[in-house]
Amino acid sequence: MPLAKQAKMVEKLAELTDAGAIDWKPSVNEGTFQVSFRDNTLRITTRDSRDGFDIVIQLLNGNGELVETITDVELAADTPIDEPGGWFGLMSDLYENARRKALGADKVLDEIIADLDSTIPF
């Protein structure tokens, strides 16, 4: 089955996540992050594989039913991409950016930097 729509969705998701336009949240499952749209939810996670790990995107409908699963491996086998690291590279960066946003990594860094800036050396 051609994965053109899935590929387009992943590329758009990566682009908007990089721009800070996607409001990722932690999921109830550790290491899984999600974003809800009007009627649907998208999750991103990892799973162990022979070669280390795969990036997995799950699409859920408005009833919470899993309707589609997409992996970097499936996209790589179906759709060429002109990105360093191919689909794995793009989706790994997407996962890392989603994780950082969901867990508030930039906020923590800003707070620690502010604390360090206000520390008076003795």
The confidence band for 79, taking pLDDT boundaries of 50, 70 and 90, is: confident
Task: List pLDDT tens digits, range 36-73.
Answer: 999 999 999 999 988 889 999 999 999 999 999 999 99
- Full-model pTM: 0.89
Which residues on neighbouring strands pair with residue 48, listed in sequence order? 53
Tell me the domain boundaries of the chain. 4-118
CA distances from 5 to 1, 9, 93, 110, 119 (A): 11, 6, 20, 37, 51
Whether residue 1 has pLDDT greater than 70: no
Under a CB-based contact definition with an 8 Å cutoff, are residues 42 and 58 in contact?
A: yes
What pLDDT score does 80 carry? 84
